[in-house]
Amino acid sequence: MPKKILSIDDSRMVHMVVTKTLKPLDVEVLTAVNGQEGIEKAEKEKPDLILLDATMPVMDGIEALAALKANPATKDIPVVMLSADSGKDNVERATQLGALRFISKPFTGDALVAGLSQYIDLGQKAA
């Protein structure tokens, strides 16, 4: 059973790069384009991990993170921030709210896989 990763980001380019990077691994990437849609998908799909951008329209990542951690249905899903906004203030706020890690954009594929591997077993796709 592939692990489900929910990528919440307003950029389709980021979804594309994340999906391409994780393609060789035993992972299914789900996507949402803002915090509100991400929360709804997280409740419905129960992903194994959430990759969360900070700066998004409708509902930003910090607000979404607070809502995810306050919701009994989603509070135990590990959240890794993947954001360009990696100023000290933002990283501290995300960490206080329960994000496990902050990966800065731009990111390399290796950094993304290494960062996620700490929290879930990504495996390899069966040949």
Span of 35-43, 66-74, 86-94, 115-123 interacting with other proteins by CB under 8 A: 86-94
Query: Nearest approach, Cβ of 66 to other proteins (angstroms)?
Result: 16
Amino acid at 91: V
Running DSSP on this structure, what letter comes out for residue 101? E
83 binds other proteins (CB under 8 A): yes
Instruction: Tell me whether residue 24 or residue 87 sits nearer to other proteins (CB atom).
Output: 87
Q: What is the DSSP string of 21-90?
A: HHTTSSEEEEEESSHHHHHHHHHHH--SEEEE-SS-SSS-HHHHHHHHHH-TTTTTS-EEEEES---HHH
48 binds other proteins (CB under 8 A): no
Give the contacts of 67 (CB within 8 A, at least 6 positions apart).
35, 39, 59
Span of 23-31, 41-49, 55-63, 70-78 interacting with other proteins by CB under 8 A: 55-63
96 binds other proteins (CB under 8 A): no
Tokens, residue 50: 């959430």
According to CB under 8 A, which one of 2, 11, 28, 98 is a site residue for other proteins? 11
According to CB under 8 A, which one of 89, 124, 126, 127 is a site residue for other proteins? 89
According to CB under 8 A, which one of 5, 6, 8, 14 is a site residue for other proteins? 14
> Are 8 and 99 contacting, i.e. CB atoms less than 8 angstroms apart?
no
Instruction: Tell me whether residue 77 or residue 80 sits nearer to other proteins (CB atom).
Output: 80
